[in-house]
Amino acid sequence: MSGIDVREARVVLRERRLLDVLDLALRFLVAHAAPYAALSAIVLVPCGVATLVVAVQAGWGWAFFLALCLSSIAEVPFTILGSRLVFEPDVALEAVLAASLRRAPRVAMVRLLEGVAVVIGATMLLLPAIWIATMFVFVTEIVALEGAGVTASMSRAQRMSTGRFGETFMVLLAVSGL
């Protein structure tokens, strides 16, 4: 990703409302459907097969748990692909997958810590769990794009969400499928 020129970006970088972001994201996905489809075949098909095998062998509860764990890691290549497609017309999927594999251990650790924090918050009341989940909704993207460590990424996620509870909560609902 050397030699990136921000002036060549095909998306104007400015503060946008949530609906504007979703509209731009849909247009971006349609414009880059081929690389996303290829990456989906490489990443999501094995995850789906593994989940189905676990469902048959151990039951759907374990399959759901595996799918939840795999989703945290499986989203990283798509985030990296999107960030590179903004600045580069052609992106090699091998480079995206290599960068994703390098970031995967940190993403897994951050998501594990986030899950523990949400569970602890849920034992107190539901509201602390929602607050914690909302606070760390962008932590995977921070690790994937900035290469930040565990504590640095959690601190940055907290700073990003400060004063934006409503917007980050809506993002949390959108990515959770609720």
Residue 123, amino acid: T
Summarised one tens digit per residue, pLDDT across range 14-73 is: 777 878 888 888 999 999 999 999 999 999 999 999 999 999 999 999 999 999 889 889
Within 13 Å and on the Cβ side, how many CA atoms surround 130? Answer: 9
Q: How far apart are CA 149 and CA 155, in angstroms?
A: 10
Give 48 or 130, the one with higher predicted confidence. Answer: 48
Residue 1 has pLDDT above 60, yes or no: no
For 124-142, what is the mean pLDDT? Answer: 81
Range of lowest pLDDT (33-47, 58-72, 101-115, 123-137): 123-137
For 144-149, what is the mean pLDDT? Answer: 82
Q: How far apart are CA 124 and CA 66, in angstroms?
A: 26
Q: How far apart are CA 82 and CA 27, in angstroms?
A: 12
Report the predicted TM-score, pTM, of the whole model to 2 decimal places: 0.74
Compute the C-alpha angle 47/174/60, nearest 5°. 35
Within 13 Å and on the Cβ side, how many CA atoms surround 51? Answer: 18
Q: Are 84 and 68 in contact (CB under 8 A)?
A: no
Predicted local distance difference test score (pLDDT) of residue 141? 84
Residue 82, amino acid: G
Average pLDDT, the chain: 85
Residue 5 has pLDDT above 80, yes or no: no
What is the domain partition of the chain in residue ranges? 16-176
